[in-house]
């Protein structure tokens, strides 16, 4: 999704930097976000995603660069002047207040007239399907219900920008899946502009309009989930985005072929570095009685019911193949192939993707 017109941008960070003394945490961050986008910041712990979110919120002072929200320069503005609402990892609900009072507390502080406040609380509660819980205390709610209340408290603000800081981290696995779907539906119904931080690449892939992948305070790639998955910019993105991740197999380019162990795979490319990585997603392998790319001898087979995972050694590297259903091989050696058009080639020295498609 191209973002071109500055007047339509909900968020624009230009050459944004953040340092703590001599330690640089964010390096030259450039991100533009259109109105109504769901932008996910994803990366491993310590990559700078929460720091970037706090810089957007005004909770961290920006060291360099500019930040605009809805076209207004807020680089040095306090949080209250940024027209944002945040949903945190911790619910931070007032235990002595009811659900309705928690949702409406901010409006009460701003002296919103009571009829308007009650109408807004009811509307948001119905949207989040917690209107039957308005008289309960937080201690009487499940984790998912508490997170809905925290979201409701943000939604009544009707701000230019919503900021979500790992809101599902405290939930168990099943509830995370349910709440992820709820957040997706909420975005589809409201068209709100959302910046969402997570370390979970599945959350990023399922929720985002676009994803910003971060590592060590540097942006590695910005793109739609499809772009990130199909054409990762480098080996870090290829390895981080995907569950299981892309196989990265050391290979040699020799005379129109990519060589992995005893396998020689024809490529249409005539100019590649000699030392490359061949990148193949586990699900792109398939059984191939004829014309196989690799004769696999599985070291491990894992039956999950819906899929069977084969682990084998190829060119001295452990490789994972995901076969659909309960795959039962009839021979010890399994001939496997993959779609060359969906494979990627990376420069082994720089880690950058050279091409997708052999």
The enclosing domain of 71 has a CATH number of 3.40.50.300
Do residues 131 and 230 both lie within one domain?
A: yes
Cβ-Cβ contacts under 8 Å for 334 (sequence gap 6 or more) = 287, 295, 296, 297, 298, 310, 312
Which domain-ending residue is among 239, 260, 286?
239
Do residues 116 and 81 both lie within one domain?
A: yes
Q: Is the pLDDT of residue 2 over 70?
A: no
Number of structural domains found in the chain: 2
- Structural domain including 179 reads 6-239
Confidence class for position 331, pLDDT limits 50, 70, 90 = confident
Do residues 193 and 275 both lie within one domain?
A: no
From CA 149, how far away is CA 161, in angstroms rounded? 18
Q: Is the pLDDT of residue 4 over 70?
A: no
**Residue 351's CATH number:** 2.40.50.140
Do residues 307 and 272 both lie within one domain?
A: yes
The number of residues in the chain equals 358
Q: Roughly what angle, to the nearest 10 degrees, separates helices 99-109 and 143-155? A: 20
pTM: 0.89
Confidence class for position 249, pLDDT limits 50, 70, 90 = very high
Residue 1 lies in a domain: no
Q: Is the pLDDT of residue 274 over 90?
A: yes
Residue 293 lies in a domain: yes
Residue 39 lies in a domain: yes
- Region 262-280: mean pLDDT is 92
Do residues 135 and 281 both lie within one domain?
A: no
Which domain-ending residue is among 207, 222, 239?
239
Do residues 206 and 329 both lie within one domain?
A: no
pLDDT tens column, 115-161: 999 999 998 898 888 999 999 999 999 888 888 898 888 888 888 99
Do residues 286 and 302 both lie within one domain?
A: yes
Cβ-Cβ contacts under 8 Å for 220 (sequence gap 6 or more) = 43, 213, 214, 233, 234, 236, 237
From CA 187, how far away is CA 136, in angstroms rounded? 26
């Amino acid at each position: 999704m191209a973002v071109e017109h500055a007047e339509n941008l909900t968020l624009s960070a230009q050459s944004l930097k953040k340092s703590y003394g001599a330690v640089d945490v964010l390096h030259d961050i450039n991100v533009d976000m259109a109105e109504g986008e769901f932008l996910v910041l994803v990366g491993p712990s310590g990559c700078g995603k929460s720091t970037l979110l706090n810089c957007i919120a005004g909770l961290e002072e920006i060291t360099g660069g500019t930040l605009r929200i809805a076209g207004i320069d807020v680089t040095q503005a306090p949080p209250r002047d940024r027209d944002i609402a945040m949903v945190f990892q911790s619910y931070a609900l007032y235990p002595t207040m009811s659900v309705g009072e928690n949702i409406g507390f901010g409006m009460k502080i701003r002296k919103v007239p009571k009829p308007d406040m009650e109408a807004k609380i009811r509307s948001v509660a119905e949207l989040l399907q917690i209107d039957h819980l308005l008289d309960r205390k937080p201690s009487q709610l499940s984790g998912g219900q508490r997170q809905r209340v925290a979201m409701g408290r943000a939604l009544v603000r009707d701000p230019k920008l919503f900021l979500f800081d790992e809101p599902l981290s405290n939930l168990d696995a099943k509830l995370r899946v349910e709440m992820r779907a709820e957040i997706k539906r909420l975005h589809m119904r409201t068209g709100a502009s959302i910046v969402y931080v997570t370390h979970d690449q599945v959350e990023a892939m399922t929720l985002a309009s676009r994803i910003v992948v971060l590592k060590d305070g540097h942006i590695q790639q910005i793109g739609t989930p499809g772009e990130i998955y199909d054409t990762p910019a480098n080996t870090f993105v290829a390895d981080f985005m995907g569950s299981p991740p892309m196989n990265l197999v050391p290979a040699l380019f020799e005379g129109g072929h990519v060589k992995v162990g005893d396998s020689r795979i024809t490529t249409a490319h005539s100019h590649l570095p000699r030392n490359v990585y061949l990148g193949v997603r586990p699900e792109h392998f398939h059984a191939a009685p004829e014309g196989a790319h690799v004769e696999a001898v599985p070291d491990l087979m894992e039956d999950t019911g819906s899929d069977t995972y084969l682990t084998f050694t190829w060119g001295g590297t452990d490789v994972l193949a995901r076969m659909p259903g309960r795959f039962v091989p009839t021979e010890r050696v399994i001939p496997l192939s993959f779609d060359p058009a969906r494979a990627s080639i990376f420069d082994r020295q720089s880690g950058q993707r050279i091409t997708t498609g052999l």
